[in-house]
Structure 1
């Protein structure tokens, strides 16, 4: 009996070792070999960690000192090539291996693409054979799960079909009034602070904008005010901060009961429980036609849809998509609003132009959707901000089947990575002032701004472009137009310019603006 038990254990260990060998050594080697034979090269990975050690060394060597407004060189610092210091290894490998190269984080094989023509082909591909990498729902599972941001195939198609109609431009127009109410409430607080401080005050705007964006999102899409969802937003922010420190791709690390992982699991459990509580209250309350209601209906119809996995439960459908919308809708918009106000404060000429346009269009009337559509200068400023500081650092895709782009056959299992900020700064695409803040480049729209318009991708590319882009642009216009109509902005001497990557591109030390009431 003991011999049989020992044999079973040894057999199990052998099977596990064979599986690990295939996962950690054989599969990555085969994938790299298929691309290598087509001329795609990259740095040699180490066992288990891939190229992560090189990436960390490169970042430590180029760690830059934040620039302050008091040093008098802030505009130059804002215009400098921050991706080369935040992601120095990408610039190094691009120079060494060309515009398309391969590297790895753990056992995840990443095909980094900075070739504009190949990016265009990828953006035009609508095949479900091109999806999202599995590491998004695994390594970042507590934050994203299998929601619309991280799923692929029929699951993603069902979620998009459920969510997109509630964020069409006509629906968003009907949300302008509540955006006005929320923003006006925040600005009353700012006006009170300015008056109490003698006419001028320095405000760290990030938290206020984050709360504002959360309030707008809750009221517009979930039928509740910010107070009811405050704890959810705070916990998601904490979860994002903790997970930004994870080593994505190292096999098995997410299962270890480390202090770091235990904190993630605890917050994830709390967030899921709170979202389900909100959902339960909605089910018990009167029918309310909004995005949350559509998610509930999408969950009800989920298991009846063809080709969908029954492993993805209705509760999971609701929780994951609510988390995705909270995360994407709140964080990206509030961060972009912070960058916009920072750039307007640093460029008083553009601030004056945008304000003059707002005052001319609005006069003494209440802001509405038609007025927003006519704010061309403000739109140019937002587009330029998104070019210089795109919230998402990368557009990522996965080859779910063998697929060919630009005569290169990408084998199943390879992940694509398009570094957005690098493409947004290419001189050959944007001209000699690519590293400068110049909204004028968008005077004739995106098509006229860039040699290859597909290389502009702050909202993603192709069929998976952000479903909330109309909502985000409208919200940004409302927030910025109201602020410009009431305040003159300048950068506080306390502001430290230091973009950093924490799942999103954000100001490491926040944005501190000096406000003076008009």
Structure 2
């Protein structure tokens, strides 16, 4: 009996040792062998980049660059003459690009990133329809609480499923049917500003950021949750908190195993993720009990009816789609409207031009209809220029799930491909010597006439993976801005400090303060 017990102990110890060795070997492979192999495959093709350290890669260099104090962008209460958003937010990319060229490699922890800003190769990547090129798994694993986990079902299953569910409902003819909803939300914002201004004696200093979020959140909450829009607002509020937590992780997402550690931010994120999922599924249950109503959530539910997914997977698809609607239809629209108003406040001549156009097109109507918005060329030019200088999303990130070839470059499986949209939007070689200036006139002949390579303008993405909500976002922006310029005159407040910051989307770090006067 004693002998048997000793044998069992020895066997258990041997298994433990073998298991430990297996874990060490796996960690060594993931942290050292695999990254070196990928970097070597790229180096053999002449692709260089900054040297990286074990486990951290280039994260410390990136953190130092992002921590540098940006002073003198513009005096308080003013906007800069040059809008080099890329240089401010991604100074390290600008430095590496100058040193290593338009195609170079760097590392986020053990994740190897191929940064591509060579125009023809960018076109190949952004128009690629293969499911072997998709949203990065590291992004969804580490930012999954916000962006959704569904992609993990297979390379492109979630992306394809999402488009099947929502794409038909977000075409322009469908958005046209949402005009009354968008108009109501915009009028609520305008009336709230009028009330604040009246209390202020004719002029008010307003920090507008949360007002923009209230507008876009109201639209999406009503469109997605219908009569449960108040619960939708609660969901979006929690998702906003989740976004702030995810943005604090910054570029540390590539550090092996960091997402599993019970750090304070991870625990908070896990708790918020659970709360959001439970709230969404509560609304789903209420909707199913109440009966049919044609809103975005109902469309998502209908899209999952004929699938062969089990209940857990179906719930995940529903929750993930709601999260994606939040980021694509709520947060990005809010920050896009904020930057548009900042640029109009800093450029009174363009504010006057847009106001004159809106009044001329509307001809006495208090609110423009869908057809009127399509006639507002000056306003459309301003929106395009604002999205060029301050695109809400700055980087198009894709993971190569199978060895692929773009141009003359063989990109091995496991490499992340970055396209720096924000840098391409202001490249002087593409946009001319005034590329950093606010000049909406460049879009007088549309996007094709604005730059030498129109496919490099992609605030909503480009090609087969273009943002599903771009039509809705453009209508929201046009209607809101048209109502604001026709009801108010505004300028930058002395409180305003120009400091763009990257928090999953590009937003003013200190908010946007405007001096607003009722017309």
The two structures share one fold, judged by TM-score above 0.5: yes
Question: Residue 93 of structure 1: which of 76, 92, 96 is its match?
Answer: 96
Does residue 24 (structure 1) correspond to residue 24 (structure 2)? The answer is no
Once the two structures are superposed, the pairs formed by residues 464-503 of structure 1 within 5 Å of their partners are 464-503=465-504
Q: Distance in 1 between matches of 2:152 and 2:200?
A: 43
Q: Distance in 2 between matches of 1:221 and 1:115?
A: 39
Q: Distance in 2 between matches of 1:394 and 1:294?
A: 29
**Equivalent pair of 1:49/1:107 in contact (CA under 8 Å):** yes
**Equivalent pair of 1:394/1:417 in contact (CA under 8 Å):** yes
> Which deviations, in whole Å up to 9, do the C-alpha atoms of 1:228-286 show, x marking residues without a partner?
32221111111111111112111111111111211111111111111111111111112
Corresponding residue of 2:86: 83
Q: Which moved more, 1:361-370 or 1:148-157?
A: 148-157
Corresponding residue of 1:455: 456
Does residue 136 (structure 1) correspond to residue 139 (structure 2)? The answer is yes
**Equivalent pair of 2:221/2:233 in contact (CA under 8 Å):** no
**Equivalent pair of 1:215/1:226 in contact (CA under 8 Å):** yes
Instruction: Give the CA deviation at 1:507.
Output: 0.4
SS in 1 for 2:447: helix
Question: Residue 210 of structure 1: which of 210, 213, 216 is its match?
Answer: 213
Corresponding residue of 2:51: 44
Q: Which moved more, 1:150-159 or 1:390-399?
A: 150-159
Corresponding residue of 2:4: none
**Equivalent pair of 1:202/1:513 in contact (CA under 8 Å):** yes
> Which deviations, in whole Å up to 9, do the C-alpha atoms of 1:108-152 show, x marking residues without a partner?
111111111111121222122211110121000111123589984
Question: Residue 273 of structure 1: which of 260, 266, 278 is its match?
Answer: 278
Does residue 328 (structure 1) correspond to residue 328 (structure 2)? The answer is yes
> Which deviations, in whole Å up to 9, do the C-alpha atoms of 1:133-174 show, x marking residues without a partner?
101210001111235899842332122111101101000011
Corresponding residue of 1:386: 387
SS in 1 for 2:115: strand
> Which deviations, in whole Å up to 9, do the C-alpha atoms of 1:163-220 show, x marking residues without a partner?
1011010000111111111111111111111112111111100001101110011112
- Structure 1 stretches of 5 or more lacking a match? 305-309
Once superposed, what is the RMSD of the aligned Cα atoms?
1.7
Once the two structures are superposed, the pairs formed by residues 27-426 of structure 1 within 5 Å of their partners are 27-64=34-71, 67-70=74-77, 74-75=78-79, 77=80, 79-147=82-150, 152-224=155-227, 226-246=229-249, 247-303=252-308, 313-365=313-365, 366-426=367-427
Q: Distance in 2 between matches of 1:393 and 1:339?
A: 14
SS in 1 for 2:227: coil
- Structure 2 stretches of 5 or more lacking a match? 1-7
> Which deviations, in whole Å up to 9, do the C-alpha atoms of 1:60-79 show, x marking residues without a partner?
34543563444xxx34x252
- Residues 513 and 61 of structure 1, relative CA distance in 2, 3 Å threshold: closer
Q: Distance in 1 between matches of 2:104 and 2:338?
A: 33
**Equivalent pair of 2:124/2:406 in contact (CA under 8 Å):** yes
SS in 1 for 2:448: helix
**Equivalent pair of 2:225/2:283 in contact (CA under 8 Å):** no
Q: Distance in 2 between matches of 1:272 and 1:318?
A: 9
